Structure 1
């Protein structure tokens, strides 16, 4: 690399963007991660996913509001190397024209609360998106009751390297037994084993007090 900044970035954001790669499937933001950090698997199957019931018309409005990412599972080596040090993050979702979603993300870190924004672009049916800014080819709301939990499936391909992530969203920082069961029942169906899963600890870094302190 010859002294080149990590992940090919310059400036103060470089360390954060590199570490953030642990939070998404070999992320992201169009960055070129080394090919060996993610690995394709024959068990990855791109298939239509179904929810607990028919996804409501205008899902973007039903899905809006604050969510916490309370658990996740992924086959990305970056994620697997850092998953035991990750903390609970949040998503604030706002409905956009055409069924798109504007998503504000907050990630607690040792050096403060890091914030990112991305637009989830609707692809055809309700609950199906792509996110070019994050390199996500396929994002699906696999299961949700809208009021308490959602299970999100994320699929990414970069230079031939594939990775899969499943995230459990909860309206509160304590996922219900129903939510946990929906998550645990789903991720094995896309080939992700239990040892790739982590329950994320709470953090107040991104609370109002935490932001002021940082």
Structure 2
């Protein structure tokens, strides 16, 4: 144990996962407000992204018009963006005592590339173990939603305009595989997850998140 009383306690690392349209951004915002009201310093971020190089990789891997991206290259691009994110942003802020809220993390790669792209969960986990230096969330909040409901929400949010990125544009059966992959990950480590029905109201979801965070705080 560090005897230096001036060393801040490590912040909580909380990740929000789930299919597109599940409402992750809303819950990140509300959870940040909750933690700040309780006196905490909070950083909210996203993946892929969070650093200059990670945001550039995000545009390359998600935006249309960059040519064919094969499955392995896609998985490695996500891992590279994550490595920079962890080393430059997430880990330093946790050490400084700030809570870090992240919209997606390793589980998204396990679900989308490991299962969705059929690369295998173990192989994708291995490259991400290296990329993150073994960093794991204190809590993963999984907002569970069907592919059809997620697509409807996205279209409602954009006024009916389909602005789907490369992954969002995949068919519903792909997204249903992703949904079940997330649920299997949560089932394998229930102590680290809070699984919520994303069709509930934002207020109801935030109440459940607050109850779980009170246990951690």
TM over 0.5: no
Question: Larger RCO: Structure 1 or Structure 2 (Cα < 8 Å, ≥ 6 residues apart)?
Answer: 2
Greater strand content: 1
Normalising to structure 1: TM-score of the pair? 0.31
